[in-house]
Chain A
Amino acid sequence: MRKPARLLWTALFLVAVFILVPLLIMASGRADLYYTFTSVALLSIASAGVWLTFYIGRINIGQGAFALMGGYVSAILVVTYGWSFWATIPAAGLFCAAASVLIGLPILRLRGVYFAMVTLVLTEVARLLALALPITNGAKGMVSIPSPGSLSLFGFTIIPDFATLKNPRLAFYLLAVTLMVLCFGIIYRLVHSRIGKLCQSLQQSEELASSIGVNIAYLRVVAYAVSSFFGGVAGAIFVAISQSIYPSSFTVTDSINFMLNCFLGGLGYVFGPMLGTLVLYFGWDLLFETGKFQLLIYSTAMIVLMLVLPNGLLSLGMGPKEGLKRGRTA
């Protein structure tokens, strides 16, 4: 896309997200929709992280572990150590990034289905840890977490105390989409800078990449750390919204959904995980009417979609742009 076109689309998107959606929700009178869209925004942040690991050629089914970890880090810092919620957002992200470096160093040597299996197990390990550790309060979880306080910088109040707001749901929505815009901005920039090309080179041949001097071990860990950072941030904000966290707040199902969001939206498109999350979230809700057939119809639809559109929903509207294609044979 050329520059003016890109600016126009970005502006339209920002207007839609920050103004149109809130206006429509107000008009519809269904305040619960704030929560729905907030969830989509947060889940798409976590999915964006998963997408980035796809971009270096790794199937990541472990993002639930980092969302859970980020949630607990934020909850513990707020409840036990009296931190401001706002400071816990980067703290949760950084904690998850640091943990992912330790975990990633050994497991990122694995490829394909082996890496995928290990990450899947990771989510379960995170749940068991949350059950077992004293600091996480076991199965009882952590409840009545205070809602975000005010944030001031140089004496100016930038964000008011959420408890004093008339419409905290709108505030959470705006917080979530702001972060979503930031995260996708970061990923977009990553992918369109040289780093994106380097990640692609890993995904296409790690051997050749190291023969041209790319430190593949380092780059893999960096990408995984950014991915986990996003997972942690999303988890921290979820906890602030629900004001509680349990070992089962993020499970293997969530990890799998993060991955499916990427597949569905398109692995070749930065905005794939955002669209994928939106469609999957609403698709699942719409199927609620079908009762016990919900899962069956949902899974069948997913399989058909992947067969018909192996490069994701976004491949309908655009050519392969970011260059990462998931061919039928490859």
Chain B
Amino acid sequence: MAALLDVSSLTKRFGGLVAVNDVSFSVREREILSIIGPNGAGKSTLFKLISSFLRPTSGEVRFKGESISNLAPHIAARKGVVRTFQETTIFKSMTVRDNVIIAHHLRSKASLLGFFVGTATARDDEAGFAASADDILDLVGLSPVAGEIAQNLPHGHLRALGIAIGLATNPSILLLDEPFAGMNHDETNRMIAMVRRLRDLGLTILLVEHDMPAVMKISDRIVVLNFGTKIAEGTPSEIQENEKVIEAYLGSEDEAIGL
């Protein structure tokens, strides 16, 4: 299968710290690829590099063969590479529905001036966005709370809203940062089902996650980072048996209990 996204020799330094060190891998169309690794391994940094929120120190990211490494984030989004946030970042004083409607921005055909004057194109856009927002809210199961102010939603719903916002941009590849964090067993299962449904709709999914059982269940392939370096890549069963991976996780476990 053709690679949709190529990460090649990507490096990011923060002063003396090498947060991402010479990482390369490819993402195929319509796959679910997870990036795992101990705390501080550089996963979020890698995500920000891919979505152009950070510029790499060296190396590049190519999307459909074209370098997107030095673009502004809104241009990367326009090309179809869209991230959601680790923190529950939403437009908190808008309604759930307005959050999703506004996120259709990239699909608008009218100009800012057109929206100001209220041209026919602008009105078509608005009507189309509203209809599409309702479909998306349906898909992620948020229709019942569409009218609520976003900041009043419970945690699990906020995560779904983050994904709904990402979907509204009509992405080719969606980057999910810890979509299962803070979820109980049932919520996690529901989220897994949703992510799979998105893939079935034609999306490519890249996700960062700490919840190992969920990662093993959902991923087609997994990339493992440790101290900014890629130490393994493969299918869930390959990764589970990989010596280096086990060592990396045991190492962090030791630190965690203070050895």
- Residues on A lying within 8 angstroms of B by beta carbon are 189-190, 193-195, 197-198, 200-201, 204-205, 207-208, 210-217, 222, 323-325
Over the window 102-141 of chain B, the binary record of Cβ atoms lying under 8 Å from chain A Cβ atoms (1 yes, 0 no) is: 1101101000100110100010011000000000000000
Q: Which residues of B contact A194 (CB under 8 A)?
A: 102, 108, 115, 122, 125-126
Q: Which of B76-98 contact A (CB under 8 A)?
A: 77-78, 82-85, 89-94, 98
A215 to B165, CA, bound (A): 16
For the complex, is B168 an interface residue (Cβ under 8 Å from A)? Answer: yes
Residue in A213, A222, A324 whose CB lies within 8 Å of B93: A324
Q: Which residues of B contact A325 (CB under 8 A)?
A: 93
Residue in B82, B83, B116, B169 whose CB lies within 8 Å of A193: B116
For the complex, is B25 an interface residue (Cβ under 8 Å from A)? Answer: no
For the complex, is B72 an interface residue (Cβ under 8 Å from A)? Answer: yes
Inter-subunit contact A222/B92 (CB<8 Å): no
A204-B92, A205-B89, A207-B85 as given contacts; A213 in contact with B116, CB under 8 Å: no
A189 to B117, CA, bound (A): 8
User: Closest approach, in angstroms, between the C-beta of B165 and any C-beta of chain A?
Assistant: 6
Inter-subunit contact A207/B115 (CB<8 Å): no
Inter-subunit contact A215/B74 (CB<8 Å): yes
- Residues on B lying within 8 angstroms of A by beta carbon are 51, 53, 72-74, 77-78, 82-85, 89-94, 98, 101-103, 105-106, 108, 112, 115-116, 118, 122, 125-126, 165-166, 168-169
A209 to B19, CA, bound (A): 25
Q: Which residues of A contact B125 (CB under 8 A)?
A: 194
Residue in A195, A210, A323 whose CB lies within 8 Å of B74: A210
User: Closest approach, in angstroms, between the C-beta of B77 and any C-beta of chain A?
Assistant: 4
Closest to B175 in A: A211
Interface residues of B: mostly helix, strand, loop or mixed?
A: helix
Inter-subunit contact B105/A195 (CB<8 Å): no
A214 to B169, CA, bound (A): 10
A78 to B72, CA, bound (A): 44
Residue in B74, B78, B98, B112 whose CB lies within 8 Å of A216: B74
Inter-subunit contact B77/A212 (CB<8 Å): yes
Inter-subunit contact A193/B118 (CB<8 Å): yes
Closest to B110 in A: A194
Q: Which residues of A contact B106 (CB under 8 A)?
A: 212-213
Residue in A197, A200, A211, A222 whose CB lies within 8 Å of B73: A211
A214 to B74, CA, bound (A): 6
Residue in B53, B98, B122, B169 whose CB lies within 8 Å of A213: B169
Q: Which residues of B contact A212 (CB under 8 A)?
A: 77, 82, 102-103, 105-106, 165-166, 168-169
A213 to B125, CA, bound (A): 16
Closest to B100 in A: A212
User: Closest approach, in angstroms, between the C-beta of B128 and any C-beta of chain A?
Assistant: 12
Assuming A201-B94, A210-B77, what are 5 further A-B pairs, CB within 8 angstroms? A205-B89, A210-B73, A212-B169, A214-B74, A214-B105
